[in-house]
Amino acid sequence: MAGPGTWSLPVATVIILLLPRSLEECGRISLPTPTVHLGDPITASCIISPNCSHLDPESQILWKLGTELQPGKRQRRLADGRQESTITLPHLDSPWVLLSCCLRWGNSLQILDQAELQAGYPPAAPHNLSCLMNLTTNSLICQWEPGPNNHLPTNFTLKSFKSRGYCQTQEDTVPDCVPNDGQNHCSIPRRHLQLYQNMGIWVQAENALGTSKSPQLCLVPMDVVKLEPPTLWALAPSPEVAAPQPGCLLLHWEPWKPSLYIEQKCELRHQPQLAEASWALVGPLLSQTLRYELCGLLPSTAYALQMRCTRWPLPGQWSDWSPSLTLTTTQQAPIVTLDTWWRQRQLDPRMADVQLFWKPMPLDKYSGQIQGYLVRAPDQAEADPPLCNTTELSCTFHLPSETQEVVLMAYNTAGTSHPTPVVFLESRGPPLARLHTVARDPHSLWVGWEPPSPRPRGYVIEWGLGPPSPSGSNKSWKMEHNGSISGTLLQENIRPFQLYEITVTPLYQDTMGPSQHIYAYSQEMAPSHAPELHLKHIGKTWAQLEWVPQAPEPGKSPLSHYTVFWTNAQDRSFSTVLNASSHGLVLHGLEPASLYHVHLMASSKAGAANSTSLTLMTLALEESELHVLLGLFGFLLLFTCLCGAARFCCRPSRKNPLWPSVPDPAHSSLGSWVPTIMVEETFQLPSLRDSSMPPITKITVLEEEEKKPGPWESNDSSGTCGLPTLVQAYVLQGDPRAPSTQPQAPSITSDQVLYGKVLGSPTGPGPRHYLRCDSAQPLLGGLTPSPQFYENLWFQTSPLGTPEPLIPNQEDDCVFGPLLDFPLLQGLQVHGVEGLGGV
């Protein structure tokens, strides 16, 4: 075992506690030794008595460590009939564990005996042992640090002895001091102490694994005395004590009464009540004076102060710091500059009314607090009453007209600030230009201007509620000292929906410029309501509306436009937009005898508002007007039907129109045309391509068809012209030079209208004639009930079956004559008639 003053290595141990036996005390756990090192092996045995009659003689003993079955057990029968089981645990790593000896009992384990195992370290040597002599309890109090946890119950004992010299020899033993469980300090009462004699003191720690002790401390009890802190307070001014200077504090303290006869020294520390401020230490302060003037502090600043004392010049321990005392240093005179502005009104030729405004601008953050302001004339004596003595930031006073200057000062208990001269300047400078405002948000306004030339030294900006508020009431103001700026932001006393009058005045070196005014809103409201609609006149298809524009409202945005909405009975809506200067509207395009709902919306930049709805009904139509309209409608319907029928009948795409489109040859220019080729000359077809000759586009040769007259046919030739045996018809249609991609049928279509007919046989010797009519109708001999597709002439036959020409009647507009009268047919020759046979 280590002796006093030495330190031993930790050694592990195991303690086994026996629990109450079960199963009629048949089994028992035993250990060869009560202690083992932590992590070392441990051996345990369990012996079952043969007196247990209800046990199987060959019962198997099982071991459990905690809740786990342990292997490696050995079981044998002793000579006296007992059964013994032995187990060795190779490493005991847990500080506490429960070991159980068990038997199998049916399907479960029956515990015969249990032992509690605890493991830990031997105690470490206590350290940092210190002792203080407390004069209040009149005892020596020692404390220490026990060291790391060793997992085992440890007992600490404070041991001491009296000695002469430096504790090398022990004379008288002092009774041990045993602290309460869990405590690391202990007190030696006064009766066991020699206040001025050396004492050897140490702490001993002991547990099941060993003992250790701290280094020995040798001391004299009075050399380690610890005083109680003094009582600290401020020293009040009195006739004997002058008031402290600015930045100073007068302090007084009183020592702890039991230490009044002990020589001591003290220390003072102070800390300003400011963010992140640290403590400053002042000392040593000797106890003979018991007062101290602390200077070098910030004026008008609160400080926390604490003091502690110790035995001096003899050894001793510092007392604790006294409770904090909070004091505020005296203030100094205000260190400020004052921005000033004024309004002056002439009462009479000799007296003027002056309203002076000012704003303090501190030059030092530790400037003294301002308690009031003084306004004096420049030559006024100190004893004379001032023009103003106020705590406000404005003052009104009367001043002789010849006085153009006053002096303004701020003061407090420490004195007054430097005087600020106020000169009432005349307005002789150039004005500002282009004064304008912009609303930044509902609580601020930007005021801009164009700096004049020469540049001012500054500007004064005033703002307050505009009309109808009284002029000059509750106005705010500010001064800008930079003459080169072109605007400033107003953020003080700005509220939305209020009209503000803003005044800007330029300040020059010896004069000022005229004030410029502007009105502005920081935020405007939408119109509260729209004008009421009135119906002035109404008709069958129109209605005239009017309204009375409202006067501008304070705080309301000016109207930008009107919108009129109207809805008919079918919920169809219509609208129109009018400018803000409009006061009426005529609605057109309404339906007669119809109901309409109309309302007006007045809009501005801030929003819109609707008027009440107006319901109106247009007038109904009169009976005469209704008849006229019905007649017009019937006429239009009839005209439309006629046009449709005509278009249907005359459409060129129809196969059989009701009547053909016949050109009038009587008014044709062909009558004046004479060909250069005579009749006797041979007419060559290639000459048809001659561009100087009008073309004959189509020649149709019709054969005579024998047929007997029907019951509806008549042999009467009245109204007809005589026709030859063979008829050749010529039709002028289109341009013959145009190429044709499809062969033309030999039949005459409905588009081909005969206005000229050549009569005679192409093989006969007689001359040929023509038949021409001035009528625009087709040249038909009579009504044909069902003509063939090639029949457009009516043939008359004699009783013998030979055709007979018809003699034209004078009542018809037909002309019968030779071909010489018709120049177009002078060059007519017929070819390819050989195949006609006996036609």
563 confidence band (pLDDT: 50, 70, 90): very high
Q: How many CA atoms within 13 Å lie on the side-chain side of 635?
A: 6
pLDDT tens across 633-692, in order?
Answer: 888 888 899 888 888 777 665 555 555 555 656 555 555 555 544 444 444 444 444 444
Distance of CA 702 to the CA centre of its chain: 96
Q: Which of the listed residues 459, 491, 521 is the one where a domain comes to its end?
A: 521
Look-up of token digits 């007038």: 619
Q: Which of the listed residues 494, 521, 548 is the one where a domain comes to its end?
A: 521
Question: 629 φ, ψ to 5°?
Answer: -65, -40
Residue 268: predicted pLDDT: 92
The number of domains in the chain is 6
Residue 218 shares a structural domain with residue 238: no
pLDDT tens across 174-209, in order?
Answer: 899 999 888 899 999 988 888 888 889 999 999 888
507 confidence band (pLDDT: 50, 70, 90): very high
Q: What is the number of helices (H) and of strands (E) in the chain? A: 1, 53
621 versus 155: the higher-pLDDT residue is: 155
496 part of a folded domain:
yes
89 part of a folded domain:
yes
Instruction: Answer positive or negative: Cα dihedral of 808, 809, 814, 819.
Output: positive
| β partners of residue 499 | 521
Instruction: Answer positive or negative: Cα dihedral of 676, 678, 679, 684.
Output: negative
Question: Does the structure show a pLDDT above 50 at 741?
Answer: no
Rounded-to-integer distance, Cα 387 and Cα 352, Å: 14
pTM of the predicted structure, to 2 decimals:
0.45
367 versus 17: the higher-pLDDT residue is: 367
User: What one-letter code names the amino acid at 130?
Assistant: S
7 part of a folded domain:
no
Residue 51: predicted pLDDT: 74
Burial of 409 (0-12, 13-18, 19+ CB in 10 A): buried
Residue 9: predicted pLDDT: 35
What sections of 201-249 are H helices per DSSP?
Answer: none
Question: Does the structure show a pLDDT above 90 at 446?
Answer: yes
Residue 447: predicted pLDDT: 94
Residue 752: predicted pLDDT: 45
Rounded-to-integer distance, Cα 186 and Cα 142, Å: 6
In the sheet that holds 584-587, the strands lie side by side as: 534-538, 543-546, 584-587
Residue 115 shares a structural domain with residue 132: no
576 sits in which H/E element: strand 573-579
Residue 374 shares a structural domain with residue 414: yes
Residue 673: predicted pLDDT: 52
| 584, 546 contact by CB (below 8 A) | yes
274 confidence band (pLDDT: 50, 70, 90): confident
In Å, the largest CA–CA distance within the chain is 196
18 confidence band (pLDDT: 50, 70, 90): very low
819 part of a folded domain:
no
Q: Quote the domain boundaries for residue 508.
A: 433-521
3 versus 120: the higher-pLDDT residue is: 120
**Mean pLDDT, all residues of the chain:** 76
- Dihedral, CA of residue 427, residue 430, residue 433 and residue 438, to nearest 10: -40
pLDDT tens across 115-160, in order?
Answer: 888 888 888 999 999 998 888 888 899 999 998 888 888 899 999 9
Rounded-to-integer distance, Cα 203 and Cα 210, Å: 14
Mean pLDDT computed over 16-41: 67
Question: 515 φ, ψ to 5°?
Answer: -80, 140
261 part of a folded domain:
yes
- Residues whose CB is less than 8 angstroms from the CB of residue 440 and which lie 6 or more positions away in sequence, other chains included: 446, 489, 522
731 part of a folded domain:
no
Residue 783: predicted pLDDT: 45
Residue 33 shares a structural domain with residue 112: yes
Residue 160 shares a structural domain with residue 221: yes
Distance of CA 418 to the CA centre of its chain: 52
pLDDT tens across 377-394, in order?
Answer: 888 888 888 999 999 999
pLDDT tens across 45-67, in order?
Answer: 888 887 775 666 667 888 888 88
Residue 574: predicted pLDDT: 92
pLDDT tens across 298-313, in order?
Answer: 888 899 999 999 888 8
701 confidence band (pLDDT: 50, 70, 90): very low
759 part of a folded domain:
no
| 545, 533 contact by CB (below 8 A) | yes
User: What one-letter code names the amino acid at 114?
Assistant: Q
| 531, 598 contact by CB (below 8 A) | no
Residue 459: predicted pLDDT: 93
| Domain harbouring 323, CATH code | 2.60.40.10
Q: Which of the listed residues 311, 328, 345 is the one where a domain comes to its end?
A: 328
Mean pLDDT computed over 791-815: 45
639 sits in which H/E element: helix 623-649
73 confidence band (pLDDT: 50, 70, 90): confident
| 622, 616 contact by CB (below 8 A) | no
Terminal C-alpha separation, the chain = 171
SS3 for 772? strand
SS3 for 635? helix
Residue 1: predicted pLDDT: 39
Rounded-to-integer distance, Cα 286 and Cα 312, Å: 9
In the chain, pLDDT over 70 holds for what percent of residues?
A: 72
4 confidence band (pLDDT: 50, 70, 90): very low
Rounded-to-integer distance, Cα 170 and Cα 162, Å: 6
33 confidence band (pLDDT: 50, 70, 90): confident
Instruction: Answer positive or negative: Cα dihedral of 266, 272, 275, 278.
Output: negative
Question: Does the structure show a pLDDT above 70 at 402?
Answer: yes
515 part of a folded domain:
yes
Residue 235 shares a structural domain with residue 322: yes
- Residues whose CB is less than 8 angstroms from the CB of residue 296 and which lie 6 or more positions away in sequence, other chains included: 247, 248
- R_g (Cα) of the chain, nearest Å: 69
Rounded-to-integer distance, Cα 796 and Cα 804, Å: 6
682 versus 417: the higher-pLDDT residue is: 417
361 confidence band (pLDDT: 50, 70, 90): confident
Residue 266 shares a structural domain with residue 237: yes
Residue 556: predicted pLDDT: 77
Residue 828: predicted pLDDT: 55
User: What one-letter code names the amino acid at 359?
Assistant: K
712 versus 113: the higher-pLDDT residue is: 113
| 28, 113 contact by CB (below 8 A) | yes
Rounded-to-integer distance, Cα 778 and Cα 751, Å: 11
pLDDT tens across 719-731, in order?
Answer: 334 444 344 444 4
Residue 814: predicted pLDDT: 52
Residue 412 shares a structural domain with residue 473: no
Nearest to 27 by CA among 116, 98, 100: 100
